């Protein structure tokens, strides 16, 4: 019998690949080169090739990737960035770090992503960027978003933190926007054993600005034409990513197989509405989210049965205390506010066993009194 089932298990990943990972990490330690070295250069080339992007720059985190992308676009004080409140807080904190103001629009109830129908009415004279988030691993409607951006002469910055490898109409996310951000936080589809992120763009000027700003703003050694920070992807992390990138497609396939099993196993249950994607995208199942009015009871029940679950995310950003000053109130984003009380993320990670998957399905069926 499967015992406690976690949301992720990085020890399993390490143990199954110990030799290769030790070799990668040990190679960096042996080389004595820890920052801005050959592992980073190799990863940037490989990830650019993987995406089909001209330039990739490794940075410290997904949050920094968003911040640096905004800085590259010269977004700052007084500018507005259209995004969603149903996302991880860093989507908004990066906008604030750049000095700009997030403008939240509601989501499409089918995809949980930004509702393109609501974007145009949020555009003002101050709007500079549309920032869609490919939440849970399913792409936002990039066709519509790019059309609106072009019409209003706005930049697009994709938040691909949860969607490495996902495609929209056959093209990888992270190649639609003018500049785009990835996270390699351990739980992500391409995760490292620590923090990491990347910016992808086809525009050499934007790429150059990120290169400067990620390293103190240095345009040449000890010479600054722009203000910068320190946000570099370390060699140790880059070496893990160089090991992991060739495995990403296989990991995403495993996630899809688990999702398929969940979708089949949970079909027909009264209150569970497993979100299946659809439309023009391929889903990489960063998270598998079910929806039920009895969410809190289900969460508690599963915890008692040893099944970990998560809520992504329980409080939308526009109702977070830290962002009260933006002036939003309850009722402003009705779909977002409705779904956050009903969503529950089930365990889904490539190393999850068949037995574990079946136990999750069995326990959920048990909760709803379904035929088991
Ligand atoms: C949608 C989204 N954007 C941004 C981030 C920030 O990434 P990081 O944790 O690498 O800073 C995350 C991850 O937490 C995320 O899920």
**Mutation pick for ligand 1 pocket among 7, 161, 194, 310 (CB with most ligand atoms within 8 Å):** 161
Q: What is the pTM of this model?
A: 0.97
* CA distance to 29, 67, 72, 103, 146, per residue, from 130 (Å): 41, 14, 15, 9, 9
- Is the Cβ–Cβ distance between 184 and 85 less than 8 Å? no
Q: Phi then psi for 221, rounded to 5 degrees?
A: -55, 125
Three-state secondary structure call for residue 120? helix
**Is 108 exposed, middle or buried (CB count within 10 Å of its CB: 0-12, 13-18, 19+)?**
middle
Is 102's pLDDT higher than 80?
yes
Specify if 65 maps to a domain: yes
Domain total for the chain? 2
Mind listing the pLDDT tens digit for each residue in 86-98? 999 999 999 999 9
Structure confidence at residue 371 (pLDDT): 43
The CATH number linked to 273 is: 3.90.1150.10
Query: CA gyration radius for the chain?
Result: 21
Chain-wide mean pLDDT for the chain? 96
The CATH number linked to 112 is: 3.40.640.10
Q: Which of 128, 188, 299, 359 is catalytic?
A: 188
- Ligand 1 pocket residue status of 91, Cβ below 6 Å: yes
Kind of pairing between the strands at 197-201 and 179-183: antiparallel
Domain span at residue 252?
248-368
3 is an active site residue: no
21 and 165, same domain (yes or no): yes
In whole angstroms, give the CA distance from residue 353 to residue 365: 19
Is 326's pLDDT higher than 80?
yes
Q: How far is the CA of 92 from the centre of ligand 1 (A)?
A: 10
Q: Distance from CA of residue 130 to its chain's centroid? A: 16
- Is the Cβ–Cβ distance between 85 and 104 less than 8 Å? yes
92 and 206, same domain (yes or no): yes
Q: What percent of the chain has pLDDT over 90?
A: 94
Specify if 176 maps to a domain: yes
Mean pLDDT of 46-68: 98
237 and 316, same domain (yes or no): no
- Ligand 1 pocket residue status of 191, Cβ below 6 Å: no
Specify if 264 maps to a domain: yes
Label residue 57 left, alpha or beta by phi (over 0 means left) and psi (-120 to 50 means alpha).
Answer: beta
In whole angstroms, give the CA distance from residue 65 to residue 197: 6
Residues with Cβ < 8 Å from 34, sequence gap 6 or more?
A: 28, 234, 235, 236
Structure confidence at residue 42 (pLDDT): 98
209 and 325, same domain (yes or no): no
Specify if 177 maps to a domain: yes
145 and 205, same domain (yes or no): yes
Structure confidence at residue 372 (pLDDT): 41
215 and 257, same domain (yes or no): no
Mind listing the pLDDT tens digit for each residue in 265-290? 999 887 787 766 667 899 999 999 99
- Tally the residues of the chain: 372
269 and 309, same domain (yes or no): yes
356 and 262, same domain (yes or no): yes
Mind listing the pLDDT tens digit for each residue in 138-164? 999 999 999 999 999 999 999 999 999
Structure confidence at residue 270 (pLDDT): 77
Q: What percent of the chain has pLDDT over 70?
A: 97
Specify if 170 maps to a domain: yes
192 and 262, same domain (yes or no): no
- Ligand 1 pocket residue status of 228, Cβ below 6 Å: no
Structure confidence at residue 214 (pLDDT): 98
**Mutation pick for ligand 1 pocket among 67, 185, 196 (CB with most ligand atoms within 8 Å):** 185
- Ligand 1 pocket residue status of 90, Cβ below 6 Å: yes
Three-state secondary structure call for residue 311? coil
Q: Phi then psi for 208, rounded to 5 degrees?
A: -65, -40
């Amino acid at each position: 019998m499967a015992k406690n089932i976690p949301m992720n298990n990085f020890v399993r990943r390490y143990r199954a690949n110990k030799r290769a990972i030790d070799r990668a990490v040990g190679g960096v330690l042996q080389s004595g080169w820890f920052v801005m070295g050959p592992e980073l250069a190799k990863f940037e080339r490989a990830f650019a090739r993987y995406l089909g992007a001209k330039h990739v720059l490794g940075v410290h985190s997904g949050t920094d990737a968003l911040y640096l992308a905004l800085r590259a676009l010269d977004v700052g004080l007084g500018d507005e960035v259209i995004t969603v409140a149903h996302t991880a807080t860093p989507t908004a904190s990066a906008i604030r770090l750049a000095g700009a103001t997030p403008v939240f629009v509601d989501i499409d109830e089918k995809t949980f992503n930004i509702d393109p129908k609501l974007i145009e009415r949020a555009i003002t004279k101050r709007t500079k960027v549309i920032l869609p988030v490919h939440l849970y691993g399913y792409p936002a409607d990039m066709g519509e978003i790019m059309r609106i951006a072009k019409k209003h002469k706005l930049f697009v910055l994709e938040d691909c933190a949860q969607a490495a490898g996902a495609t929209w109409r056959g093209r990888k996310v992270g190649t639609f926007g003018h500049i785009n951000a990835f996270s390699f936080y351990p739980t992500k589809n391409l995760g490292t054993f620590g923090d990491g992120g990347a910016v992808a763009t086809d525009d050499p000027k934007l790429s150059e600005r990120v290169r400067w700003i990620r390293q103190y703003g240095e345009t040449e050694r000890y010479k600054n034409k722009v203000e910068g920070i320190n946000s570099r992807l370390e060699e140790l992390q880059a070496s893990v990513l160089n090991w992991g990138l060739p495995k990403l497609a296989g990991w995403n396939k495993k996630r899809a197989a688990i999702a398929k099993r969940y979708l089949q196993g949970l079909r027909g249950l009264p209150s569970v509405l497993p979100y299946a994607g659809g439309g023009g995208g391929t889903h990489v199942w960063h998270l598998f989210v079910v929806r039920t009015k009895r969410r809190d009871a289900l969460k508690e029940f599963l915890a008692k049965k040893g099944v970990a679950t998560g809520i992504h995310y329980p409080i939308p950003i526009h109702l977070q205390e830290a962002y009260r000053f933006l002036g939003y109130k309850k009722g402003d984003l009705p779909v977002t506010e409705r779904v956050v009380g009903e969503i529950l993320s089930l365990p889904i990670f490539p190393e999850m066993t068949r037995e574990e998957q079946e136990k999750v399905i069995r326990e959920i069926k048990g909760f709803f009194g379904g035929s088991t």
